[in-house]
Amino acid sequence: MAATTKLTLWPKLSQLIRLINTQPALHSNFRSSKVVEPLDQYPEVEIVHNAPEWKYVERLLPPRIVPQPKPKESYPSGWQPQTANASERSYYIARTKNHMVPVYLHTRFRGQRRLTVVRRVQGDIWALERDLRAVVESARNGKLCASRVNELSGQIYFHGDYVDVLRDHLKSQGF
């Protein structure tokens, strides 16, 4: 019985291999593509470096850098520009390239562990950690908060979800 099933499977397998070999999209290479014909059989192409139509293409392309925001009294999204200078305090938090405050939430272990990360810290990172820990502990009604400082990468980690609290505090400080 087993010998007969092997015999009936082999024709189906060979049909499958034949089908795969006949589909050039699945297994294409340079040998299966068309041979290049002589260049005089192709239409003439004119290369224009500064075409007048290029200005319409340029306005569709995204900008290469994020432009500086225009100064206003207030913005509809609630965004605030950075007003703090590095010389005012012993620490400084640089904004991201999109002009946002670098405070992030990392979730680990299927959302069971939440870490709030403050990045791009320059200067006295320990003084900033003390100030931010006081803000987080006041948001927790005086309960202690675990924090971790990475001097080499300029990051401060707080155990818990305090992204909104820290962003609002840093914006109020001018960062």
pLDDT at 4: 47
Q: Pick out the chain residues at pLDDT < 50.
A: 1, 3-9
Q: Where are the domains of the chain?
A: 91-173
Q: Do the beta carbons of residue 102 and residue 94 sit within 8 Å?
A: yes
pTM, entire model: 0.65
pLDDT at 104: 98
Q: Do the beta carbons of residue 154 and residue 118 sit within 8 Å?
A: no
Spelled out in words, what is the top-level CATH class assigned to the domain 91-173?
A: alpha beta
pLDDT at 17: 64
